């Protein structure tokens, strides 16, 4: 066992993840010391309520209501930021860096929006900022892409990276629920917040995709360029029709290096049922990465929760401790590529992206309607893979029509949808869901 003094850690936040981190550090202290070469000890923590009963005892830890007291503590060598959000997390992390302290964070919001500035400050100060827990909870996706796949040119990646959306879509498929009922169930079980917009509108997944794309393709963090679409427009019928066609609807974060630019997009996606990622259900997460040398690599696991996320936080603490005596220039770069070698590849505008599409529309059941629709598609060189007219509901004046197209540029399908919706025989909006074979 190492005779070196334990490394002293300050925790910002003793909520779910903070308490989980403290529990894992204590329970696995012996194993962690054997791996890190030194003990890792939490000596100072901040919390909004100091006298609150806690499942993980805090005996021996100095508690402060002001997180700046932790950041400014001269005995703290590593600050673990586990409070989330942008403010005051950004100010606290930058203050820790200015104080010469290493930082571990689980904050995807912070890294996606301010990571470029944070990493630049960390390089100037000669400290490390580690953020494995910011993406996919306990799945070691950052380390895998950044280090284990360093010999590859990553071609594309796709991820189920929001457990709330995945739970809702699973409930809609398995239990035949409509979106609203599935969301209410997720809220009752604690999988969705009272205000679920961050999850169901795709913002949370977009933060994570921003980070994944940066380390996969060696580009700066560019959250503002991610195309984002949520799941609230998905109906039980869409889920059923997709299943009958051999697909499942998953809310994916998708990034691809096309050679002409980087695709960055988050949206509902039809995925063939035979793909492993299509069978990731409930609140679980999965990330599929395709490298030119290794081919497809699928990582699966818990994307949230106290101890799965704590697992990633503690792993980062171990990595930082191992590298404490390493020359800063020889540490693993924050975004996988050397800072002066980041690419300036453009992010493609969404209307230049190509994908296959599922479309559902309601039309008056009369001769010539299908011909009008297919003519509009043909005029824009959109090839139809399948077309399916469902039986109308009893007493309904319209019939549902389902179409699958081959790959098409977004601007062409958008124009076609506008023209189809303008037909007198078409009622309401056309539902479009992109389709990816992931092959």
Q: Which residues are catalytic?
A: 208
Residue 147 · residue 342 · CB < 8 Å: no
Burial of 236 (0-12, 13-18, 19+ CB in 10 A): middle
> Alpha-carbon dihedral of residues 422, 425, 431, 434, nearest 10 degrees?
-80
CA distance 119 to 134: 15
Q: Is the CB of residue 156 less than 8 Å from the CB of residue 265?
A: no
Contact predicate 380/412, CB 8 Å: yes
Q: What is the DSSP letter of 342?
A: -
CB count in 10 Å sphere of residue 199: 25
Residues facing residue 157 across a β-bridge = 255, 289
Residue with tokens 């005892």: 57
Q: Side-chain half-sphere of 262: how many Cα atoms within 13 Å?
A: 26
How many Å from the N-terminal Cα to the C-terminal Cα in the chain?
48
Q: What are phi and psi of 166, to 5 degrees?
A: -65, -35
Strands (E), 185-304: 227-228, 247-257, 262-272, 284-291, 295-302
Q: Contact at 8 Å (CB) between 42 and 76?
A: no
Local structure of residue 282 (DSSP, 8 states): T
DSSP H or E run through 109:
helix 108-125
Q: What one-character-per-residue DSSP string does 122-169 give? A: HHHHT--EE-GGGSSTTS-HHHIIIIITTTS-EEEEEEE--HHHHHHH
Q: Give the Cα separation of 169 and 268 in Å (integer).
A: 10
> Do 321 and 36 form a contact (C-beta atoms < 8 A)?
yes
């Amino acid at each position: 066992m190492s005779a070196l003094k334990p490394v002293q850690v300050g925790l910002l936040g003793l909520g779910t993840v903070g308490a989980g981190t403290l529990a894992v550090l204590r329970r696995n202290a012996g194993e962690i010391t054997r791996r890190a070469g030194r003990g890792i000890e939490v000596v100072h923590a901040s919390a909004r309520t100091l006298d609150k009963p806690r499942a993980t005892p805090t005996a021996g830890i100095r508690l402060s209501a002001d997180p700046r007291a932790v950041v400014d503590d001269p005995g703290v060598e590593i600050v673990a930021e586990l409070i989330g959000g942008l403010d005051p997390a950004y100010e606290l992390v930058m203050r820790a860096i200015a104080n010469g302290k290493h930082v571990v964070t689980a904050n995807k919001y912070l890294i996606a929006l301010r990571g470029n500035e944070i990493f630049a400050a960390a390089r100037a100060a000669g400290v490390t900022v580690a953020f494995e827990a910011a993406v996919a909870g306990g799945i070691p996706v950052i380390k895998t892409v950044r280090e284990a796949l360093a010999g590859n040119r990553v071609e594309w990646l796709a991820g189920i990276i929001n457990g709330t959306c995945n739970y809702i879509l699973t409930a809609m498929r398995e239990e035949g629920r409509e979106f609203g009922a599935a969301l209410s169930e997720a809220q009752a079980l604690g999988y969705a917040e009272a205000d679920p917009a961050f999850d169901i509108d795709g913002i949370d997944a977009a933060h994570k995709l921003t980070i994944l794309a940066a380390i996969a393709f060696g580009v700066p963090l560019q959250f503002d360029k991610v195309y984002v679409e949520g799941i609230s427009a998905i109906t039980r019928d869409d889920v059923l029709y997709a299943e009958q066609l051999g697909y499942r609807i998953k809310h994916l974060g998708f990034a691809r290096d096309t050679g002409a630019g980087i695709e960055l997009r988050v949206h509902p996606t039809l995925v063939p049922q035979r793909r492993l990622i299509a069978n990731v259900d409930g609140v679980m997460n999965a990330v599929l990465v395709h490298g030119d040398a290794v081919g497809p690599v699928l990582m699966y696991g818990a994307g949230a929760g106290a101890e799965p996320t704590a697992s990633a936080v503690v792993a980062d603490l171990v990595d930082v401790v191992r590298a404490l005596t390493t020359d800063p220039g020889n540490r693993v770069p924050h975004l996988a590529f050397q800072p002066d070698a980041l690419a300036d590849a453009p992010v493609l505008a969404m209307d230049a992206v190509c994908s296959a599409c599922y479309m559902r529309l309601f039309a008056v059941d009369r001769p010539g309607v299908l011909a009008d629709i297919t003519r509009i598609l043909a005029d824009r060189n959109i090839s139809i893979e399948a077309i399916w007219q469902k039986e109308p509901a009893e007493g309904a004046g319209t019939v549902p029509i389902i179409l699958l197209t081959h790959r098409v540029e977004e601007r062409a399908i958008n124009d076609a949808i506008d023209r189809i919706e303008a037909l007198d025989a078409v009622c309401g909006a056309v539902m479009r869901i992109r389709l990816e074979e992931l092959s």
